[in-house]
Structure 1
Amino acid sequence: MNDKIILNDIVEKIFTKIENNILCFFGLINSTREKIYNYELDIVIFVMRSELFLSNATNNRDEETFEKINKIIFYITKYKYIFEEVNISEELEQEILIRTRNFPYLIENSKINDYELSEYESLKYDNKFFLTKKQIEVFELIDKKNKLVISAPTSFGKSFLIKYSVLKRNWNNCVIILPTNALVSEYCDWFMDNQKKLFSVITNINQDLKKRNLIIMTQEKFWSFFNKEENSGINYDWVIFDEFYSLDLINIRNQILFSILLYLKNFKDIKMTFLSPNSKNLKEGILSFLDGIFFEETFEEYVEQNLVSRDMIYLVNKENVKDKYIATQILNKNDKFSFIDEFPPSLLGKDNLQIMIEIIKKINKAEKNETFLIYPPFTSFTTYCDALLEMSKEIGYEKPEEIKFLIEYLKEYYGDHYSVIKMLERGIAVHFGEIDEFTREIIESQFRKKNIKYLICSPTLMKGVNLNTNYLFITNNRFPDKNIDPKNLVGRIGRYDQSPHGFGFYINSSKETTVKNSIAKKFQENLVIVNKNPKNQTKIDEFIKKINNDKNIKLDKKLISNNNSKSDKTLKSDYFIEGNINKKILFSDTISLEIKQTLQSIFIKENENKLDFLYCKKLLSNLMIIYYFLKEKWKGNTIEKIALIFSWYLKGLTVKNMVLNMAKYYEKFNRETLEERKYRFTGKFITKTNEGDIFSSKNEKHMNILTGETLKIIKSDIEYNLKNSMLHFMDCKFDENEKNDIYDKVEILTNNDLIRWLVKNGFYKNIAITLSKEKFKKIFYKNEIFLNENEIINNFKNYNFEEKDKFIKLNVERVIKRWESVL
């Protein structure tokens, strides 16, 4: 009997006994304590910790096999690239990790009693997932507390806990507000797969509501949703805010969030849960803000415990004080790190990119199926893409069918020359904020399945996407100002419900000795604190030895060439998939009259996509207003900015092809077996299922529904992006006379001078439209004469708003406060 069969048998035996036991303690066993340490590596081996199995061990063979399993678990969760042969199948590896929940606590040189025993709760919705003791505490708090802020490391499992809480708790209308469309898609997919028809998942403002509704949207989309007249009578039972950790009211997104919170204040018994990564200013910021709104104590659960193991390896020049300070800022409490400021000979004299490539090559020699997440400087984005393309020539890559499909899709839209296509041909992809949703979902899905090996990311991935990887490379030391963002990036390695151990490499070979005294002082203080904690002292000796001993490295100079025929800006745009940008528009010196006439003729002709003609005409007119001013204002910068706006219109013009491609995708990749996820129609919406009215592009009803729903989303995107672009351009670049000129043109378009006046004076468009109705007319007019601001303020204060208009009243009060401060 070979080792693999023995292992499978014994693992099944252990699992059976664990599952038949009501409560399983994952603690270290005294009788085997001497055998579960490896003192040479000075690390705790991650053991199976089954008290039940060991107490019933009948012979030496059982214990030997148990030790063998421990050793394998150690290999697959630690230093995998050191050992070139690990005799274990990938399926068995995943089974062990998932079903035993091997989370290393890494408390070195401690006694058995110092370990916190972990319990598990087998959730009725999915028996594969187990909770630690601390997670159970938080899980129960979510259920008990009406106002709860949970602050914990990115790997604690906050989203994991909240998803299962939503399944477990009784409610009629639950809302989850997320910062990005990418997270909306991820949450939606998860609930579609796990909710078992308990409720309807709502992600579009035009969807029909059922008896129980889970509404998953960004704050902008939810703002539009609850302002729809037909939704005014909805009672919200529970609202969840994920990634809620900053409230800068100067930011237009947070102004919307602030308005939502004011609105929700009207629901006395509403349950609200806020999820945030660890933030030093949480108590002074979020909590004081929430207490100010709700006038009651908001319960805070601040968790510092990290349930996963990460090793951050810092390859920095010894004179680089700044990077050593950064190192103490981006780690969570239990993360381990090593400073390597004397570079191995094989890496001396190399730049950051060259060092990264060499490390990746070494990992690839030992591991054939790992993924790499790379965060480079934005200005060097294309250089990194080119380097990975060059390196990948040495490695064979067999494209899965979904990647082949995506390549054909991109060729149809962008042409054969598109740089992203040649990257996908080699298993490389980019992740950028403006990537079109259909492409982004395929890239994220394929990266999770390890069909895409390298993913180069912008700061967008620091928050809003729960992608994980075993290896992270950071060569960009220009982090955003908030300390929390780099921690989120590091949180891509070592994930609670996926891989419990990860490696990160922070590389900066440059000398940066010029640093503010205050930063240098903080670094010294932080380093003292870190050094006092033995958990943060680790040696990556084996890894460094491997690099030191390899003296035969040959690097192709073309790999890191900075000589590009095109400008950096052009290349960066070439690598990003920003909406459906037409490259003719993006890189022309001027937006010619011919292009404008072409766009107008497309809108004016009989429209195959059935877009509302009047709606399109108004939007196009607004666009031409902006262009009229920007042409003279920004000159060289005009083209790129206008192209981004044009792209949203071009999206609307290609709806038919988009829908056809989506239909092909649904059919091609969801009809193989009964176990595969398929698509069916529930009412007017496509959902994932294994049964029901399975989607077919030949079904005219299906195609009409898909086209209609796609159009609704695109129209909403166009309006939102155009409005924000207009406001931004006007506020930053126009003087008062120019702004008034634009408002005059808007008045002509809307044919309503009151709407124009309200928007100009700080009201949101939807509120302005409502206030322009006949029933509010007496606030603004007397004997058909428009009143002055003081008179309007008094009328607002004395106006008796109806119960259904409470939200309008709150917004009026906000604007009046601003008026009065100016007056």
Structure 2
Amino acid sequence: MDTFIECKNIYKLINNNQLAKARDSTISLLQNIKDSNGIYDELINTLIREVGLYQYIDEKTSNWSDRFAKEMFKVDTGGERQAIHIEQSDVLRRLINGENIALSAPTSFGKSFIIDAFIAQKSPKNVVIIVPTISLTDETRKRLNKKFSHSYKIITTPNITLGERNIFVFPQERAVMYVEIIEEIDLLIIDEFYKISKENDSERASKLQQALIRLDHKAKQKYFLAPNISTIKQNPFTKGMVTVRKLDFNTVVLKSHKLYKEINDDLEKKKTHLLKICQKDKNLVYAALFKEIDILRELFLEKYIIRNQRQILLFSEWLKKNYHPTWTLSDLILRGIGIHNGRLHRSITQLQVLLFDDQESGLDTIISTSSLIEGVNTSAKNVIVWSFKSGKANQNLTPLSYRNIKGRAGRMFRHFIGNVYELVEPKTREQDSIQLNIEIDGSLISGITDSNYLSGVTNDQQAKSETFIEKIDAILGTGVYKSLRLHNQLNTSNEELVYKIAVELKDNYGEYKSLKMLHAAKPEKWDYILGKLIFLNAQSIRWAEDREGKQYKDARKYIQVLSKQWTTSISNLLKELEPDEIGIEDFFTLEKKVCHSFASYLHDFNVLNRIINPLDFIDITPFITKCSNAFMPGVVLELEEYGLPRMITKKIHHVNVIHFNETMNIDTAIVNFKRVGKKLIVERCGKFIEEFDEFILDNFYENI
């Protein structure tokens, strides 16, 4: 490559006002220089300045005017001054001036970086950041904690006392929990805002809409972030906001490799291409469906040899010892392959991302569902699209979701060029045609009082909702149901389910007298009432497509076995579940179901029962709490979000370094960990602490 000729060609593009092409060509040039271990001479730095990528200017080799230009674009991002590019500067200026902005820009734009600069410069009292996934919650908390923990309380879990200044980072489900607690919001941020449309995320849209409807009037200013949206159709959620489009400003260049043309639906060719790509660099393989992940698991186990890097050897052994000796994930880890999905325990997914971002660990490829690949930044150079399914009801990815997935390839400063290998044909529209269409979910109507949002409700939606409300009011009393919704006392917005539960409690409460057995210490005494509760709302615990009715009997057995989790190892729990053919993957799926949808349903059952049967009400709150905490002290799962697996928490509890009880919250736990320190934990735990446990503790202490 002749650098001078390349620079000359780029300047021609600039002179012809083709800035987007010039910028992409400049980024490609920087990758070529990096690959050849070259340096940026004065000409290159001036070129970088011309295309607005000030953060890439090398201050050691640039002339004084380019260094001065970079200095002018440096901002405080929380403890240090960093350069931002020209379009980031424009968005930041508008936010500081008080504008409400809906920003549409490529994945590599640096939308989140603007948040840090805003907080550092404006020092707002309360900032709320709503993100789509727990993985993105973890990443955002870590980033903000390093920069702002000295002046802000970073809150990511429920039931935390607010500080004088707070940054809340939640997925939409948790944001709803804080509606009654947060009185005023200086800046309300919604990341991956496109998921507010049911067209783009049928599972999360309703909760995200609910959170925004309830928080909107408390927000002084709003900043919504989304990738690659051309237009936003008029809707109440973005009313009064300025739509800012920066669709052609990239800091990383994506190269698409349309291998599906050569593969032509031949599975063996598809496998061959995958194995070849994954032999080098860092790779994210998108495979939405679990049956596809199974195919990839078998492929890598058969074709890849065991590696000898110490970290993955230790991690594999740790997984075998703490989960199951024959778990295939531990064998994949030995081959440098990880799996990331929403079923796994939080600490396992975090550890895999941590090792993946380490260039020397040996973990170079992660097979992922949308749990990782939508929103989380990693060191991946390549994204390999194995499937075009979304993982939801066997639907295809939407255009926005697909572009977001492709945007995970490449990373500023590390990989100027990211590769997207399409092993299947993407049947999607072109970017220019992408419009965000947002319709209010009809199930939310009864909880809406704001006229702005009511204006977005159709007559048919209103009529359907009022029909169910009349039926529910006939049982609960006039206005009671709307009051429950208004004060966030029900988790579900499914009025058909609320009515079904209410009728059952009114007409057949005599059959639920054994609710009191849920207070029994022996799990076998829960058997009958668990069966009744599961039968009333089977969807709350539905977890398998291939077990038909047997899955509900299995779920009942699972809950009884799970109740021993705080005193028994997971490997022993799995042994007890073997006769029911509940394996480790099923264990993860069921635990998530029990902690979330089943516990949520029981909460609503309890609320309605208190109203319908006040004289002989049987309160099952203690059992609901146990379910939501997976039958461990509540703080244990919260510590997992900070990177501390339950196994290590158990060890610390066992040797009485820190005593974890039912009333301890995350604030108290972190204070105790800081007081005790890692050294004392290792000393007191002695033989119970392994080498990989110490690696985990190091990471955990860095997080807190």
Q: TM class by shorter-chain length?
A: 0.5 to 0.7
Q: Does 1:258 align with 2:209?
A: yes
Amino acid at match of 2:227: P
For residues 504-519 of structure 1, the aligned pairs below 5 Å read: 504-508=420-424
Q: What secondary structure does 2:107 align onto?
A: coil
Partner of 2:483: none
Q: Which residue of the partner structure matches residue 241 of structure 2?
A: 298
Q: Find 2:408's aligned residue among 492, 496, 507.
A: 492
Letter in 1 for 2:225: L
Contact 1:155/1:308 (8 A) holds in 2: yes
Code of the residue aligned with 1:142 in structure 2: it is: L
Shift of 1:658: 8.6
**Is 2:374 the partner of 1:422?**
no
Q: Distance in 2 between matches of 1:430 and 1:375?
A: 10
Residue of 226, 231, 234 corresponding to 2:179: 226
Q: Does 1:272 align with 2:222?
A: yes
2:344 aligned residue: 435
Q: Secondary structure at the match of 1:504?
A: strand
Alignment equivalent of 1:382, drawn from 272, 294, 298: 294
- The residue number in structure 1 matching 2:137 is 184
Deviation per CA, 1:188-242, whole angstroms, max 9, x where unpaired? Answer: 1111112151111111221121111111111111211224xxx26x222221111
Aligned-partner SS, 1:37: helix
Residue type at the aligned position of 1:238: L
Aligned pairs (5 A) from 1:769-808? none
Q: What amino acid sits opposite 2:184 in the alignment?
A: N
Per the TM alignment, residue 252 of structure 1 is displaced from its structure 2 partner at its CA by: 6.1
Deviations 1:538-579 (A, max 9, x none): xxxxxxxxxxxxxxxxxxxxxxxxxxxxxxxxxxxxxxxxxx
Once residues 439 and 319 of structure 1 are traced to their aligned partners in structure 2, the CA distance between those partners, rounded to angstroms, is 34
Note closer, same or farther for the CA distance 1:490–1:173 as it changes in structure 2 (3 Å cut): same
The equivalent residue for 1:472 is: 383
Trace 1:548-587 onto structure 2 (pairs within 5 A).
Answer: none
TM-score (norm 2): 0.56
Deviation at 1:183, TM superposition (A): 0.8
Separation in 2 of the partners of 1:525 and 1:162?
27
Residue of structure 2 in register with 1:314 after alignment: 258
The one-character-per-residue Cα deviations of 1:720-744 (angstroms, maximum 9, x if unpaired) are 32156789xxxxxxxxxxxxxxx9x
Aligned ranges for residues 329-728 of structure 1 at < 5 Å?
Answer: 351-361=269-279, 364=280, 370-376=281-287, 378=289, 379-393=291-305, 396-400=307-311, 403=312, 406-450=315-359, 451=361, 452-478=363-389, 480-496=396-412, 498-508=414-424, 604-605=520-521, 622-623=533-534, 625-626=536-537, 636-640=547-551, 653-655=564-566, 718=594, 720-722=596-598
The amino acid of 2:316's aligned partner reads I
What secondary structure is seen at the aligned counterpart in 1 of 2:196?
coil
TM-score, with normalisation over the residues of structure 1? 0.48
State the alpha-carbon separation in 2 of the partners of residues 634 and 73 from structure 1.
50
Q: Please state whether the residue corresponding to 1:155 is helix, strand or coil.
A: helix
> Given the alignment of the two structures, is residue 244 of structure 1 paired with residue 193 of structure 2, yes or no?
yes
Which whole-Å CA distance do the structure 1 matches of 2:292 and 2:592 have between them?
34
Q: CA deviation at 1:129?
A: 3.4
Aligned twin of 2:587: none
Q: How far 1:421 sits from its partner (Å)? A: 1.0
Structure 1 residue 637, shift from structure 2 partner: 2.6
- Which letter maps to 1:392? Y
Q: How large is the Cα RMSD of the aligned pairs?
A: 4.9
Equivalent residues of 1:313, 1:503 under 8 A apart: yes
CA distance, structure 1, for counterparts of residue 566 and residue 380 of structure 2 = 34
The structural deviation recorded for 1:408 is 4.5
Hey, what's the Cα distance between the residues in 1 that align with 2:3 and 2:354?
40
Separation of aligned partners in 2, 1:159 and 1:407: 34
Displacement of 1:640 in angstroms is: 4.9
Q: Give distance in 2, aligned partners of 1:606 and 1:387.
A: 44
Change (3 A) 1:198 1:637: same
Match 2:94 to one of 123, 137, 141: 141
Q: Secondary structure at the match of 2:104?
A: strand
Q: Is this contact kept in 2: 1:173–1:213, CA < 8 A? A: yes
Q: Which has the larger radius of gyration?
A: 1
Q: Which amino acid aligns with 2:256?
A: M
User: Which whole-Å CA distance do the structure 2 matches of 1:498 and 1:616 have between them?
Assistant: 55
Find the counterpart in structure 2 of residue 547 from structure 1. none
- SS of aligned partner of 1:174: strand
Q: What is the DSSP-based 3-state SS (H/G/I as helix, E as strand, rest coil) of the residue aligned with 2:309?
A: coil
Give yes or no for contact 2:195–2:204 (8 Å, CA) kept in 1.
no
Q: Counterpart in 2 of 1:36?
A: 4
Matches of 2:285 and 2:299 in 1, distance apart? 12
Q: Contact 2:96 / 2:122 at 8 angstroms: preserved in 1?
A: yes
Shift of 1:318: 6.8
Q: What is the rounded CA distance, in whole Å, between the counterparts of 2:530 and 2:83 in structure 1?
A: 51
Counterpart Cα distance in 2 of 1:155 and 1:235 = 31
**Which residue is equivalent to 2:170?**
217
Deviation at 1:123, TM superposition (A): 2.9
Structure 2: how far apart are the matches of 1:167 and 1:152? 22
- Match for residue 122 of structure 1? 74
Q: Which amino acid aligns with 2:300?
A: L
- Counterpart AA for 1:505: Y
CA spacing shift, 1:118–1:225, aligned 2, 3 Å: same
Q: Could you tell me how far apart the structure 2 residues matched to 1:648 and 1:630 are?
A: 10
Q: Deviations over 1:48-105 (max 9, x none)?
A: xxxxxxxxxxxxxxxxxxxxxx99954465xx5xx8xx699xxxxxxxx9x984499x
- CA separation of 1:271 and 1:36: change in aligned 2, threshold 3 A: same
The SS at the match of 2:144 is: helix
1:596 counterpart residue number: none
List per-residue Cα deviations over 1:94-142 (Å, max 9, x = no partner): xxx9x984499xxxxxxxxxxxx97763333354732111111112122
1:502 alignment partner AA? G
Conserved? CA contact 2:375–2:404, under 8 Å: no
- Displacement of 1:385: 1.9
CA distance in 2, matches of 1:240, 1:658: 40
Aligned positions, number:
465
Q: CA separation of 1:310/1:168 partners in 2, compared to 1, >3 Å: closer, same or farther?
A: same
Task: Please give the alpha-carbon distance, in whole angstroms, between the structure 2 residues aligned to 1:262 and 1:377.
Answer: 30
* Cα distance in 1, alignment partners of residues 118 and 127 from structure 2: 11
| Structure 2 residue matching 1:288: 3-state secondary structure | coil
The one-letter code of the counterpart of 2:123 is N
Quote the Cα distance in structure 1 between the aligned partners of 2:125 and 2:431: 53
Query: Partner of 1:36: helix, strand, or coil?
Result: helix
- Aligned partners of 2:288 and 2:368 also within 8 Å: no
CA distance in 2, matches of 1:641, 1:222: 31
Counterparts of residues 15-30 of structure 1 (less than 5 Å): none
Superposed CA offset, 1:667-687 (max 9, x none): xxxxxxxxxxxxxxxxxxxxx
For the 8 Å contact 1:494–1:501, the answer to whether it is kept is: yes
- Shift of the alpha carbon at 1:390? 3.4
Aligned to 2:85: 132
754 and 439 in structure 1: CA distance in 2 versus 1, 3 angstrom threshold: same
> CA offset at residue 506 of structure 1?
1.4
Taking a change above 3 Å as real, the CA distance of residues 715 and 374 of structure 1, as seen in their structure-2 partners, is closer
Provide the rounded CA distance (Å) in 2 between the counterparts of 1:181 and 1:150. 22
Give secondary structure in 2 for the equivalent of 1:752: helix
Query: C-alpha deviations, 1:155-187, integer Å up to 9, x for none?
Result: 111112223322332222211111111111111
Q: Which amino acid aligns with 1:261?
A: L
